């Protein structure tokens, strides 16, 4: 389990996180939903262990964690297969075994045999992000952290990758902490949606739900969420909120 | 942006990927110029479907085809030979020998069994000094890039060495080592080291911190970070610096040989000068230039091809 208890973080220009309490249980897909700049990515980096909190506790009892970033962060000089196998190499798997396993997951994510040896500059944005997802999911980690991985993709591609991620997470029974500012993405993916306030972030709502798939159900669930004043206020643009009046988004 | 408790100092650095024109030394060797540069572009994170157009197909006029480029290069060489021949005929054999006289002198050098041993000696001085300087430059550059105070301390020293004329090193080396092979080798090494050092330093400093964070999160061991991240990132900076340093190595080696009276092509030039044999002087010059091009083709062209190929 990943547990954050009263986590606070201050940057030089002010507080970013103001007392976050959050838990991610095994096998659960939790979506962190909040406005751009509210501190979602910072929270994810705390969970990944690359940032230390100013106060509070971060306890990560998951054995293995992997992360998908907002941008693919692939090695430009390595082909798709070797990029997907990066985590296996870090764990000391022999070359033949790690390449075979990387090929298997890339093909499951829609790669053709001819695409496996392409380097990132020769791949489209969507294909690059698939390699990044393959790199994370191939390891079958018990926790995967995802930082708005589809933010730069078009709507159709985003829906397809959302479906793939949800299916892969369910298939492997892994826990996931997924960051997004898109409410429809949250209702499509989440077992539980955690809504963050604008910076400094605090949890304003936690909503258990079942992932919606049909478009009507997605929009109905999103509308239902937005009817909650605390959610609407947290997600509205700064000028439209009473609480956010005069605040500059970070 | 700074954070209390931030654990990774790399996070404070620029997030720009290294790219063409980021201060990497330019490839000034003939091979590098003919190849049209070696730069690797920043990977495009396109919003949607297609790879960037620059990857899918080069715009017309962006680059010549391989054979077209070769044909224009050959035309340039023919023009140079024509200019040389015209100059020789206009100025007379006591100022500039003709092309055929030089070719005959080259053949004579091979026939007399002088050319190969002297070229090998010069290659030994140039390549030996280049390797010593490159190893020292890479190690110092890596250390200076990774340990910031060390980098701040060594940079002005190496820039001072870079600014010192090679002729000054020849004189000092003559006093330190006396006439012989050590003088040209030392002079080449001390000339090559700062060129490579500055490239390595720049390479380390312009690494992509986002890739470093990715490797850290995936718990890549130090050896994997070295082979999969650091060395490929450095290659963009180091390969052009190696080409530059190798070109300098041959020039400096010949100069040091001429002045120190050592054997090698420089020694041959010094003897030809003493005999006022202009054709033989030109023959040695042509031979050493051809030898440099061959060394570049054997040692560095494969690296440049790899660098271009990995860019997609």
Q: Residue B310 has what pLDDT?
A: 66
A227 to chain B, closest Cα gap in Å: 32
Res A39 pLDDT > 60: yes
Q: Average pLDDT of B290-299?
A: 84
Strand A192-196, strand A65-68: pairing? unpaired
pLDDT at B52 over 50: no
CA distances, A152 to each of A7, A156, A207, A241 (Å): 29, 12, 26, 27
CB proximity under 8 Å: A 127-146 to B:
128, 135
pLDDT digits (tens, 9 = 90+) for B190-230: 999 999 999 999 999 888 999 999 999 999 999 999 989 98
CB-neighbour burial class of residue A57 (10 A; exposed 0-12, middle 13-18, buried 19+): exposed
User: Is residue B53 less than 8 Å (CB to CB) from chain A?
Assistant: no
Four-CA torsion A217, A220, A224, A226, nearest 10 degrees: 110
Q: Do B232 and A77 touch (CB under 8 A)?
A: yes
- Residue with more model confidence, A203 or A247: A203
- What's the pLDDT score for residue B54? 41
Q: Which residues of A, range 89-128, sit inside 8 Å of B by Cβ?
A: 89-92, 118-126, 128
Q: For chain B, what is the mean pLDDT?
A: 78
Write out chain B residues lying below 8 Å of A51, CB-based: 3, 5-7
ipTM: 0.85
User: What confidence tier does A83 reach under pLDDT thresholds 50, 70, 90?
Assistant: very high
Inter-chain contact A51–B221, Cβ cutoff 8 Å? Answer: no
Instruction: Read off the pLDDT of residues B87-110 as tens digits, 9 standing for 90 and up.
Output: 999 988 888 999 999 999 999 999
Find chain A residues with C-beta within 8 A of B312's C-beta. Answer: 76, 118-122
Q: Which stretch of DSSP H or E encloses residue B76?
A: helix B66-91
Are β-strands A2-11 and A55-60 bridged in parallel, bridged antiparallel, or unpaired?
Answer: antiparallel
Q: Which residue has the higher pLDDT, A75 or B60?
A: A75
Cα A15 to Cα A41, A53, A180, B2, B9, distances in angstroms: 14, 11, 21, 12, 20
Burial class (CB in 10 A: 0-12, 13-18, 19+), B215: buried
Q: Please report the residues numbered 188 through 207 in chain A whose beta carbons come closer than 8 angstroms to any beta carbon of chain B.
A: none
Q: Domains in chain A, please, with CATH?
A: 2-64+140-249 (3.40.50.300)
Question: What does the pLDDT read at residue A249?
Answer: 39
Question: Which of A124-138, A154-168, B62-76, B118-132 is predicted least confidently?
Answer: B62-76
Q: Give the distance from residue A238's alpha carbon to the nearest chain B alpha carbon, in angstroms.
A: 23
pLDDT at A99: 93
What is the edge-to-edge ordering of all strands in the sheet holding A143-147? A65-68, A143-147, A175-180, A29-33, A192-196, A203-208
CB within 8 Å: B43 and A120: yes
Instruction: Quick: pLDDT tens for A108-161.
Output: 888 888 899 999 989 988 889 999 999 998 888 889 999 998 887 778 778 888
Ranges A177-181, A198-202, A232-236, B59-63: which has the least confidence: B59-63
Angstroms from A229 CA to nearest CA on chain B: 32
Counting Cβ atoms within 10 Å, is residue A1 exposed (0-12), middle (13-18) or buried (19+)? Answer: middle
């Amino acid at each position: 389990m990943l547990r954050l208890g009263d986590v606070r973080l201050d940057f030089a220009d002010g507080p970013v996180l103001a007392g976050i309490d959050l838990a991610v249980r095994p096998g659960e897909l939790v979506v962190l939903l909040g406005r751009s700049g509210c501190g979602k990515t910072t929270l994810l980096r705390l969970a990944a262990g690359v940032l230390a909190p100013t106060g509070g506790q971060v306890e990560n009892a998951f054995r293995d964690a992997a992360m998908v970033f907002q941008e693919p962060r692939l090695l430009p000089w390595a082909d798709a297969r070797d990029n997907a196998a990066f985590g296996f190499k870090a764990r000391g798997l022999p070359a033949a075994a790690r390449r075979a396993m990387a090929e298997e997951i890339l093909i499951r994510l829609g790669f053709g045999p001819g695409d496996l040896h392409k380097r990132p500059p020769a791949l489209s944005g969507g294909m690059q992000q698939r390699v990044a997802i393959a790199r994370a999911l191939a390891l079958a980690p018990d926790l995967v952290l995802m930082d708005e991985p589809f933010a730069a993709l078009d709507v159709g591609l985003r829906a397809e990758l959302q479906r793939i991620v949800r299916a892969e997470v369910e298939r492997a029974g892994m826990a996931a902490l997924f960051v997004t500012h898109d409410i429809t993405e949250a209702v499509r993916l989440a077992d539980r949606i955690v809504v963050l306030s604008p910076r400094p972030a605090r949890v304003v709502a936690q909503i258990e739900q079942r992932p919606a798939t049909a478009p009507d159900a997605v929009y109905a669930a999103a509308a239902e969420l937005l009817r909650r004043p605390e959610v609407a206020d947290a997600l509205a643009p700064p000028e439209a909120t009473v609480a956010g009046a005069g605040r500059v988004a970070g | 942006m700074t954070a209390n408790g931030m654990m990774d100092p790399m996070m404070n650095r620029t997030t720009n990927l290294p790219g063409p024109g980021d201060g990497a030394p330019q490839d000034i060797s003939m091979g590098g110029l003919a190849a049209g540069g070696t730069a690797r572009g920043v990977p495009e994170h396109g919003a949607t479907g297609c790879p960037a157009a620059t990857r899918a197909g080069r715009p017309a006029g962006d680059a010549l085809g391989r054979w077209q480029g070769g044909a224009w290069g050959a035309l340039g060489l023919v023009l140079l030979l024509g200019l040389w021949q015209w100059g020789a005929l206009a100025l007379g054999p006591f100022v500039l020998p003709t092309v055929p006289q030089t070719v005959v002198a080259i053949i004579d050098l091979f026939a007399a069994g002088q050319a190969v041993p002297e070229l090998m000696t010069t290659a030994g001085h140039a390549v030996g000094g280049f390797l010593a300087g490159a190893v020292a430059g890479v190690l110092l550059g890596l250390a200076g890039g990774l340990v910031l105070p060390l980098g701040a301390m060594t940079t002005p020293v190496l820039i001072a060495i870079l600014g010192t004329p090679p002729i000054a090193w020849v004189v000092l080396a003559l006093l330190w080592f006396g006439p012989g092979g050590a003088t040209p080798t030392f002079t080449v090494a001390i000339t090559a080291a700062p060129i490579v050092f500055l490239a390595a330093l720049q390479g380390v400093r312009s690494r992509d911190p986002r890739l470093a964070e990715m490797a850290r999160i995936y718990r890549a061991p130090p050896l994997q970070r070295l082979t999969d991240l650091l060395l490929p990132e450095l290659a963009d900076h180091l390969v052009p610096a190696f080409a530059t340093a190798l070109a300098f190595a041959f020039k400096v080696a010949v100069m040091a040989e001429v002045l120190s009276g050592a054997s090698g092509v420089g020694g041959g030039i010094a003897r030809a000068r003493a005999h006022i044999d202009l054709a033989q002087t030109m023959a040695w010059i042509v031979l050493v230039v051809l030898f440099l091009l061959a060394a570049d083709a054997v040692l560095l062209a494969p690296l440049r091809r790899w660098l271009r190929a990995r860019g997609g």
